[in-house]
């Protein structure tokens, strides 16, 4: 908890890059995606995957998949301590070996400020790499009074078109994230700020990266990590 609080103090929940302020993201060329996939029946053996896609074409420019030994136990609210170090290593390898392909922003499967202590995986990864980072989760993390009740399901049903959103406002009155209908799927995404990005920019970027429900950088990282394990 102390380490989380120390790192959380470094989170910048605002736009810091010139491309973020452009309506068409002019100047954005490379978007990264990170993911860990576990070997079937073994929660200590995983494939850490980092991909970098061109933007706006969303073609894979770089891929790094490696099997890793996950030794830290899973503790709710502290997932980042278990998984983020491997993604940080992958980013650092890329920055050292092929710096011209370094991502300008990272998308990660998980939450950012939408977290019991306001410091989810996307915040942790963003602060440690000092890169803009966005959390994209498939399910609602029930914190600060947010619950998947009938009202929440009704709000989801109100998202009629691709790109429709509604804010996730906790009982504290703070907006912790945004629910986004990314495509024709009735299942939404839960987008939250990680680091060095505003919520509005995060939602716009995630939306622009979606060919399917899951944004392409995360989707490709997941596909490639699972294929690596299979092989």
Given a cut of 80, is residue 5 above it in pLDDT?
Answer: yes
Query: Which tokens belong to 166?
Result: 């509604």
Domain spans in the chain, listed from the N-terminal domain onward? 1-141+193-230
d(CA 223, CA 152): 30
Q: What is the mean pLDDT of residues 67-77?
A: 88
Given a cut of 90, is residue 67 above it in pLDDT?
Answer: yes
d(CA 226, CA 221): 9
Q: How confident is the model at residue 35 (pLDDT cuts 50, 70, 90)?
A: very high
What mean pLDDT is reported for the chain? 94
Closest CA relative to residue 214, chosen from 125, 126, 110, 117: 110
State pLDDT tens for residues 153-202: 999 999 989 999 999 999 999 999 999 999 877 799 999 999 999 999 99
pLDDT at 199: 98
pLDDT at 183: 85
Contact status, residue 11 vs residue 198, Cβ threshold 8 Å: no
Q: What is the mean pLDDT of residues 67-96?
A: 92
Query: Which tokens belong to 157?
Result: 């049903």
State pLDDT tens for residues 96-125: 999 999 999 999 999 999 999 989 999 999
How much of the chain exceeds pLDDT 90, in percent?
83
Q: How confident is the model at residue 41 (pLDDT cuts 50, 70, 90)?
A: confident
State pLDDT tens for residues 206-231: 999 999 999 999 999 999 999 999 99
d(CA 159, CA 41): 37
pLDDT at 99: 97
Classify domain 1-141+193-230 by CATH number: 3.30.2170.10
d(CA 144, CA 67): 36
């Amino acid at each position: 908890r102390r380490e989380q609080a120390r790192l959380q103090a470094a989170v910048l929940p605002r736009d810091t890059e010139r491309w973020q302020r452009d309506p068409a993201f002019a100047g954005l060329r490379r978007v990264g995606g990170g993911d860990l996939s576990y070997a079937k029946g073994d929660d200590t053996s995983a494939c850490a995957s980092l991909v970098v896609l061109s933007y706006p074409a969303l073609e894979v420019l770089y891929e790094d998949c490696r099997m890793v030994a996950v030794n830290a136990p899973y503790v709710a609210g502290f997932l980042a301590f278990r998984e983020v170090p491997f993604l940080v290593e992958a980013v650092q390898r890329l920055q050292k070996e092929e710096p011209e392909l370094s991502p300008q922003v990272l998308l990660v499967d998980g939450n950012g400020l939408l977290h019991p202590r306001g410091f989810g995986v996307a915040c942790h990864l963003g602060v440690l790499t000092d890169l803009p980072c966005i959390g994209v989760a498939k399910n609602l993390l029930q914190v600060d009074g947010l619950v998947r009740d009938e009202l929440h399901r009704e709000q989801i049903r109100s998202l009629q078109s691709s790109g429709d959103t509604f804010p996730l406002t906790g009982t504290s009155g703070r907006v912790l994230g945004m629910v986004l209908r990314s495509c024709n799927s009735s299942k939404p995404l839960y987008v939250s700020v990680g680091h060095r990005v505003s919520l509005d920019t995060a939602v716009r970027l995630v939306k622009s990266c979606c060919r399917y429900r899951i944004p392409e950088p995360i989707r490709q990282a997941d596909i490639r990590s699972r294929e690596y394990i299979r092989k």
